């Protein structure tokens, strides 16, 4: 009977039934078969409302949507060009930093490709870089900011870990832990870009202090956003939810009343669009936590750990298998859904292997970043294919070199936990 139900649910997933309904059905079936009152489901949904950290999610999402609807991307490109355009391979680092910063602000990797693609692709090709290299760079750098605060994936990971009563997982620790790995990824891609274009003259432009000052002056309001978030949280003046609320209000004021790029009457539409995304995340999170409760009651994580321990003798091998699994998962599943579904299963097993839960969060998100452009079905591949009007096979060829370089970086992040934990522990 149980196998038949599993087959039916798998079929529903394949034909496109919403993910939260599939998870909810699994949870209902699990509780019902265990003769547990189904009232645990609404209780679990209500328990989410007690998470003060979770209140930060809609605020950061709203701020990100506002920034993506404005001309923030144009200002960031101009600033990066003025500050770094004189360096060898200046346009490479400009594309990387602009994309990372924009993704950090908006929380959306695909949004970055759509918003910055029309600016960065002509700039790169006019600077002498090949079209394939340029498309690969833009597509792969679109996810670089997911480890930078206020990173919504890390926020979501922290909420789930806290709901599971995993000790030692604070949101601010996750934000700090992501800084060095994110910087390392950016530097590695930049160095690879220099090497890949080593036979061509790397263009530089004269440094202009006046242009740098004007670009900083133009973008100063948006540059203050990470200062508000990080300064408020790490100074102790604001908790994460407070910082999110302040950020949302601040971004609303600067985009509507200072830059005046978003009309006041358009704000409800932006709010609605952002809350649709947040609502989807919360719905999946609620039913996934209910399913997690069933799995814990049924001792599934312990059974999984015992099975893995019987076949995997050491932490090193476990991390190798985890990397492979997460890369495959990232190619097929959105990062938010992957975190919500898999973290409750993976986290207890990893802790039993002695892996720091904060380090695991960085490893999880770093792998999922690459999954965004991992063939055959990485989400960013299709977004870039549509954005640049190129075939999906062209995108495969363009991004594979960047994926391989970043794979090496992720392995270093995975097996050198010091990179994630040096500023935390």
Give 345-391 as a DSSP string.
HHHHHHHHTT--HHHHHHHHHHHHHHHTT-TTT-HHHHHHHHHHT--
**pLDDT confidence of residue 1:** 47
C-beta separation of 293 from 40 below 8 A: yes
Same domain, 134 and 12: no
Same domain, 177 and 221: yes
Same domain, 262 and 171: yes
Query: pLDDT at residue 50 above 70?
Result: no
Q: What average pLDDT does this structure show over 70-98? A: 82
Alpha carbon 281 to chain centroid, angstroms? 13
Tell me 144's DSSP state. Answer: G
Q: Which residues contact 351 (CB under 8 A, 6 or more apart)?
A: 166, 357, 360
Nearest-angstrom CA–CA distance, 298 and 293: 9
**pLDDT confidence of residue 413:** 93
Same domain, 24 and 98: no
Same domain, 143 and 20: no
Q: Which residues contact 339 (CB under 8 A, 6 or more apart)?
A: 153, 156, 157, 160, 364, 365, 368
Q: What average pLDDT does this structure show over 362-370? A: 89
**pLDDT confidence of residue 192:** 93
ω into 145 cis (within 30 of 0): no
**pLDDT confidence of residue 10:** 59
Same domain, 60 and 161: yes
Query: pLDDT at residue 312 above 70?
Result: yes
ω into 94 cis (within 30 of 0): no
- Mean pLDDT (the chain) is 80
**pLDDT confidence of residue 225:** 84
Same domain, 53 and 84: yes
C-beta separation of 375 from 400 below 8 A: yes
Same domain, 139 and 16: no
Nearest-angstrom CA–CA distance, 127 and 99: 18
Q: In which domain, by residue range, is 144 found? A: 39-421
Tell me which residue has tokens 């019987």. Answer: 310
Same domain, 8 and 145: no
How far is the CA of 116 from the CAs of 121, 122, 153, 388, in angstroms?
8, 11, 21, 11
Same domain, 196 and 336: yes
What is the reported pTM? 0.77
More confident residue, 257 or 238: 257
Report the percentage of the chain scoring pLDDT > 70: 86
- Predicted confidence band of residue 49 (pLDDT cuts 50, 70, 90): low
- Predicted confidence band of residue 359 (pLDDT cuts 50, 70, 90): very high
Query: pLDDT at residue 77 above 90?
Result: no
More confident residue, 192 or 3: 192
Number of H helices and E strands in the chain, helices first, is 21, 0
Same domain, 17 and 83: no
Q: Which residues contact 286 (CB under 8 A, 6 or more apart)?
A: 20, 44, 45, 48
The per-residue pLDDT for range 266-290, each reduced to its tens digit, is 999 989 988 887 777 777 777 777 7
**pLDDT confidence of residue 93:** 85
Q: Output Rg (C-alpha) for the chain, integer angstroms.
A: 22
Closest CA relative to residue 157, chosen from 290, 25, 346, 30: 346
Q: What average pLDDT does this structure show over 16-41? A: 73
- Predicted confidence band of residue 409 (pLDDT cuts 50, 70, 90): very high
The pair of structure tokens assigned to 281 is 């995340």
C-beta separation of 290 from 41 below 8 A: yes
**pLDDT confidence of residue 362:** 93
- Predicted confidence band of residue 341 (pLDDT cuts 50, 70, 90): confident
Query: Number of folded domains in the chain?
Result: 2
More confident residue, 246 or 104: 246
Same domain, 10 and 134: no
């Amino acid at each position: 009977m149980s196998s038949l139900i599993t087959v039916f649910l798998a079929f529903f997933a394949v034909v496109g039934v919403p993910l939260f309904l599939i998870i909810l059905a699994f949870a209902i079936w699990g509780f019902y078969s265990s003769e547990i009152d189904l009232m645990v489901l609404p209780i679990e949904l209500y328990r989410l409302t007690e998470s003060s950290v979770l209140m930060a999610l809609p605020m950061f999402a709203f701020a990100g949507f506002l920034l993506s609807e404005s001309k923030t991307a144009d200002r960031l490109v101009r600033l990066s060009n003025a500050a770094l355009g004189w360096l060898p391979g200046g346009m490479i680092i400009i594309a990387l930093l602009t994309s990372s910063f924009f993704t950090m602000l908006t929380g959306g990797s695909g949004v970055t490709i759509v918003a910055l693609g029309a600016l960065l692709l002509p700039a790169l090709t006019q600077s002498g870089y090949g079209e394939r290299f340029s498309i690969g760079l833009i597509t792969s750098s679109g996810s670089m900011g997911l480890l930078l605060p206020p990173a919504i994936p890390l926020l979501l990971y922290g909420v789930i870990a806290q709901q599971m009563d995993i000790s030692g997982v604070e949101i601010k620790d996750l934000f700090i832990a992501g800084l060095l790995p994110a910087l390392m990824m950016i530097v590695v891609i930049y160095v690879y870009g220099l090497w890949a274009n080593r036979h061509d003259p790397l263009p530089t432009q004269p440094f202009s202090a006046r242009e740098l000052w004007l670009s900083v002056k133009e973008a100063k309001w948006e540059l203050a956003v990470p200062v508000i978030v990080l300064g408020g949280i790490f100074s102790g003046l604001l908790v994460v939810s407070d910082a999110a609320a302040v950020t949302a209000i601040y971004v609303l004021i600067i985009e509507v009343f200072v830059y005046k790029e978003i009309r006041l009457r358009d704000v409800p539409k932006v709010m609605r669009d952002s809350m649709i995304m947040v609502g989807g995340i919360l719905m999946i999170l609620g039913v996934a936590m209910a399913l997690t409760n069933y799995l814990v009651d049924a001792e599934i994580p312990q059974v999984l750990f015992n099975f893995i321990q019987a076949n995997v003798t050491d932490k090193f091998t476990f991390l190798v298998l985890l990397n492979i699994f997460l890369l495959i998962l990232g190619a097929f599943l959105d990062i938010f859904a992957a975190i919500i579904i898999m973290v409750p299963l993976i986290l207890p097993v990893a802790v039993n292997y002695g892996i720091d839960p904060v380090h695991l969060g960085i490893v999880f998100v770093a792998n999922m970043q690459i999954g965004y452009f991992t063939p055959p079905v990485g989400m960013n591949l299709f977004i870039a294919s549509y954005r640049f009007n190129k075939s999906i096979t062209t995108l495969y060829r363009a991004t594979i070199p960047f994926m391989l370089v970043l794979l090496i970086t992720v392995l270093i992040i995975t097996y050198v936990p010091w990179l994630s934990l040096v500023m935390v522990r």
